[in-house]
Each structure stands twice: as structure tokens, then as C-alpha cells.
Amino acid sequence: MKVAAILALRVFVAISLLGVTVCRASHGTGPSPDAHESSNATNVSCTGVGSYRVATSAVGPTPGLPQSAKGASFTPAVGLAGTDVGSAVPTVSPVLWANEPKPSIDESFKRLAMGEQITFRGYSLTISSICADSAQFELVSQQE
């Protein structure tokens, strides 16, 4: 439970630092689910393709990245600070971190477009889908 609280706090801090507007589930207000689905349907970057998915409302990815040979605490977690599907070039802003090695330092990647590749502690990921409230990516390589 303590680890989950720490991860949630890291995502919150990263979102605050980035100044990115985050989509969140509505509770009786905002667009209906049908409106949300239609906005993703008109977004050509929302391909639904990618082995790993992360949503703005959760720490992920789902499924988790392959465990580092150094142990689970070295394996990166991914959070999603936000997406911008309304711009001419849709973008996503992921945040990655791992508990080890200490000190644990988050790395924010701002406004990545489809096909862009990022590297964090030996894991290389390529953005393959950008939706209104989620993103998907492929694991390109994992160095150990």
C-alpha cells in the first residue's frame, strides 16, 4: 500500500510540474461515454495499437514491462501526465521512474508524437497510439 501511495504522489507531482491538463473520469458531468468514444474515433492517432497501455487515471503500464535483470525495483513504471489529441500533431506526455537505484528520479517526456522513441534506464519505448485519455507503446529494447 505504501508503494502505491508513493507512486500516486509521484504522478501527481509530475502532473503539477508539467502544467498539463489531465483528463479524468467524470462523475455525472462532462461528455457522455458515447461522446468520448466518438472523439477517439475521429482522432487518427488513436490507433489502439501497442503492446503496453497507460491511462491518465492509473499508474502502469498494463501489462507491466518485463522485469529488469537487477530486480523488480529497477523495472520502470509509467504514468501519463496527459495527452493533446486536439492539436495538429497529437502528443502525449509520459512520466517514467523506478524505485532503484537510489535516489529514484522521475523523468518526464513532454509532447511526444506518434512514432517517437524514448529511453529510460535501458528501456526504449516507441509511442504507437495516442487517445484522449490513454496511450499505447511498444517496447523496442531492454538493455541489462
Phi, psi (deg, nearest 5) at residue 103: -75, 145
Whole-angstrom distance, CA of residue 78 vs CA of residue 8:
11
Whole-angstrom distance, CA of residue 125 vs CA of residue 138:
6
Q: Is the whole model's pTM more than 0.75, yes or no?
A: no
Q: What share of the chain is helix, strand, coil (3-state, %, to 5)?
A: 20, 35, 45
The pLDDT of residue 99 is above 50:
yes
Enumerate residues 6+ apart whose C-beta is below 8 A from 121. Answer: 74, 76, 96, 98
Enumerate residues 6+ apart whose C-beta is below 8 A from 65. Answer: 52, 75, 76, 78, 123, 139, 142
Whole-angstrom distance, CA of residue 8 vs CA of residue 14:
10
The pLDDT tens digits of the residues spanning 107-129 come to 999 999 999 999 999 999 999 99
The pLDDT tens digits of the residues spanning 59-89 come to 889 999 999 999 999 999 999 999 999 999 9
Whole-angstrom distance, CA of residue 54 vs CA of residue 128:
12
With vertex at residue 15, the alpha carbon angle to CA 3 and CA 69, rounded to the nearest 5 degrees, is: 45
Taken in order 46, 106, 111, 35, the sign of the CA dihedral is positive
pLDDT of residue 144: 64
